[in-house]
Structure 1
Amino acid sequence: MNIETKNSSNRKLTTAKKNKSDEFYTQISDIERELKNYTEHFKGKTIFCNCDDPEWSNFWKYFELNFEHLGIKKLISTHYQGENSSYKLEIIGDINHDGKVNNLDIVKTPLKENGDFRSKEAIEILKEADIVVTNPPFSLFREYVQQLVDYNKKFLIIGHQNATKYKEIFKLIIDNKIWLGYGFKGGAAHFINKHYEDYATATDRKEGMIRVSGVVWLTNLEHKKRNEDIILYKTYNEQEYPKYDNYDAIEVSQTKNIPIDYEGVMGVPITFLNKYNPEQFEIVGMTSGRDEFEATPTKRYINPKQVNKDGSISNGSKVNTSSTILYNTIPDGVYYKADNADGYLKVLYTRFLIKNKRL
């Protein structure tokens, strides 16, 4: 899938998830693949799926089918009903002294409100829960995560990797309050949808589904992958790892190429989080063009201009939004010039700035 198509699918997913008639549902195979890594966390706990219609939700289906196996105390589901009143569905288990679940009860309770996760009724249910597991609306992701943090809840949720660049989410990552789970195969997921538009490539197409790349699991539940080291094998040299012109750090274009012997700050793609071990590396900032924690740019470009492929000139303010590489000769593609740049600039995608804690 090309970049234009991927961006289109992500925009359409965000828009669609605002509308109940166009909700997206996670495949149960993706849920099973991820949740099998957290089974020890679910025993004796109240699980809340607060963005899930139990008639359609595969999160509900997974926990319902595995209720006794996982030793869950209670399963609760609520979902958004637009202008209508919603309901709460519960499975309640009686856990005996051996930890086994007996006497399952299924209880359906009408709600006065529409089931929005921000409603008073939903918040009262949230207070009761131990762990929240769901696929929340991407368009409300900041607000959704903040609510979980405010109520000190454990969670395992789906989001887009670009959400890790949000100031609010990035701060939680730095503070070690949220991290990535095991992840989707190939970094993409197919979401079930009754009213879908099929714009995946032929090799990615699945009937009745929409493919979205860059989706991730985010959690504050501990898991084994989180403590696995990235295997480093390359050594540092100035030619392969150029220094940024506007940050005191070197460019590492792929996580696998992080040098084993570099003691300073390195800029890596945001996909680094898929393999991030907080015992091995420290995240010190983000090249966002703003003062993000300890990642203050070393310079701001004066009177920047963007030089397009056809030679035309346009506003170059983008050069102050991320890290740059300075070239002595004109580079291929779009580049930038500025009064205080002694050469030609290329703007990179957002980078997370890291340091090796063991050097």
Structure 2
Amino acid sequence: MIAEKTLNQTLHIAKSAKKDEFYTQLSDIESELKHYEKHFKNKVVFCNCDDPRNSNFFNYFAYNFEKLGLKKLITTCYINQETDLFFQEENEKAVFLEYTGDKNGNKIPDAEEIGLTPLKGDGDFRSKESIDLLKQADIVVTNPPFSLFREYVDQLVKYEKKFLIIGNINAITYKEIFKLIKENKAWLGINMGRGISGFIVPDRYELYGTETRIDDFGNRIISPNNCLWLTNLETFKRHEDIVLTKKYYGNEFEYPKFDNYEAINVNKTQDIPLDYEGVMGVPITFLHKYNPEQFELIKFRKGNDDKDLSINGKCPYFRILIKNKRIK
């Protein structure tokens, strides 16, 4: 528990310092992307936070280009002012790469051999150059800067793009992100928490606790266990009902009511009662199992007095207010 808390603090410090160098492992990309293969046929994929010389997102899509039936793969990277994770020298130019497939069999191509095109600017996803490339894309897939997550998602929504991106679990608590989920315009992907095995970090990031390691390739891995995939690509999971086995009536003492909202508190998603037709406050991790056909999202975090939901004057960790649509 201490190790996990320290790791989460590391991510918080990195966010505050605008150090967003958490690189996604290929195994985690493969584990998630295998559930979305049908969405990519004849599509242009844009990885706009990815240096093709070392990005595992580029490696995944380049290797699986023909299998997925992609039309084009575009990657761009932000100019790096510090020593790169994989290179000793500094990158002098932000670059982009357009890839249309290897006709001699699926293999991971060498980005340098394909040809990198320097960008005029710094490659920031908010730059005109990057936005012009974004307009060409059908689907955006990447690990965006955690410190700019809200702004990043806002841009995707503005340009009406399909997306599959990694973020911190706390992104659910952002009012802009929750609004998208409530309006059924975005939802959680397949893997979350320990389902995402960890991120490669630079040498200057200190490795804390037991949830860190150095892999067979010498990569330094940190596993915060508090990240998720956010997407607007259809998945099987969000149409699966949560199996409910608990009952409210006869066990009312297990479900105290909030002081400032007419609702009961439910500490775990698995404890949602099957016979309660009123409003319930559930943990934010409920959204990983949320089926919009089974439940209605009412409100996030606040009671009728616009203060955090409380029980006997004490506030549990953030709650999402929901209602079961299928009470018999």
The reply to whether TM is greater than 0.5 is yes
1:13-33 deviation digits (Å, cap 9, x = unpaired): 4246x34xx722101000000
Displacement of 1:198: 4.1
1:112-153 deviation digits (Å, cap 9, x = unpaired): 011000000000000000000000000000000000000000
Figure out how many residues of one structure are paired with residues of the other and give that number: 303
Q: Which residue of 1 aligns with 2:324?
A: 356
Q: Which residue of 1 aligns with 2:274?
A: 260
What is the one-letter code of the residue matched to 1:168?
E
Q: Which residue of 1 aligns with 2:13?
A: 12
Alpha-carbon separation, structure 2, partners of 1:155 and 1:299: 36
User: What is the RMSD of the two structures over their aligned residues, measured on CA atoms?
Assistant: 2.2
Give the alignment partner of residue 70 of structure 1, picking from 68, 71, 82: 68
Preserved CA contact (<8 Å) 2:260 2:305: yes
1:31 aligns with 2:32: no
Change (3 A) 1:119 1:298: closer
Change (3 A) 1:75 1:266: same
Preserved CA contact (<8 Å) 1:200 1:211: no
What is the one-letter code of the residue matched to 2:221?
M
Q: Which residue of 2 aligns with 1:228?
A: 240
1:206 aligns with 2:213: yes
Alpha-carbon separation, structure 2, partners of 1:249 and 1:219: 29
Alpha-carbon separation, structure 2, partners of 1:166 and 1:354: 17
Q: Which residue of 2 aligns with 1:244?
A: 258
Gaps of 5+ in 1: 289-296, 301-319, 327-344
Change (3 A) 1:147 1:254: same
Preserved CA contact (<8 Å) 1:92 1:106: no
Bigger mean CA offset, 108-117 vs 31-40: 108-117
Q: Which has the higher strand share?
A: 1
What is the one-letter code of the residue matched to 2:269?
T
Trace 1:293-304 onto structure 2 (pairs within 5 A). 297-299=303-305
Preserved CA contact (<8 Å) 2:25 2:56: yes
Trace 1:261-300 onto structure 2 (pairs within 5 A). 261-288=275-302, 297-299=303-305
Q: If you compute each CA radius of gyration, which structure gives the higher value, 1 or 2?
A: 1
TM-score normalised by L of structure 1? 0.79
1:151 aligns with 2:159: yes
Give the alignment partner of residue 98 of structure 2, picking from 90, 95, 113: 90
Displacement of 1:175: 0.6
Gaps of 5+ in 2: 82-91, 215-219
Q: Which residue of 1 aligns with 2:311?
A: 325
Alpha-carbon separation, structure 1, partners of 2:49 and 2:285: 27
SS at match of 2:96: strand
What is the one-letter code of the residue matched to 2:66?
E
1:288-326 deviation digits (Å, cap 9, x = unpaired): 4xxxxxxxx2347xxxxxxxxxxxxxxxxxxx4x21112
Preserved CA contact (<8 Å) 2:77 2:94: yes
Displacement of 1:211: 1.9
What is the one-letter code of the residue matched to 2:311?
I
Q: Which has the higher contact order (CA 8 A, sep 6+)?
A: 2
TM-score normalised by L of structure 2? 0.87
Alpha-carbon separation, structure 2, partners of 1:244 and 1:185: 28
Alpha-carbon separation, structure 2, partners of 1:44 and 1:106: 21
What is the one-letter code of the residue matched to 1:358?
R
Q: Percent identity?
A: 57
Preserved CA contact (<8 Å) 2:24 2:143: yes
Trace 1:131-146 onto structure 2 (pairs within 5 A). 131-146=139-154
Misfit runs of 4+, over 4 Å: none
1:81-137 deviation digits (Å, cap 9, x = unpaired): 056541111111499xxxx99xx9945322101100000000000000000000000
SS at match of 1:37: coil
Q: Which residue of 1 aligns with 2:84?
A: none
Q: Which residue of 1 aligns with 2:86?
A: none
Preserved CA contact (<8 Å) 2:71 2:100: yes
What is the one-letter code of the residue matched to 1:357?
K
Change (3 A) 1:94 1:60: closer
Change (3 A) 1:267 1:160: same
1:148-184 deviation digits (Å, cap 9, x = unpaired): 0000000000001111111111111111111000014
What is the one-letter code of the residue matched to 2:11?
N
Preserved CA contact (<8 Å) 1:189 1:215: no
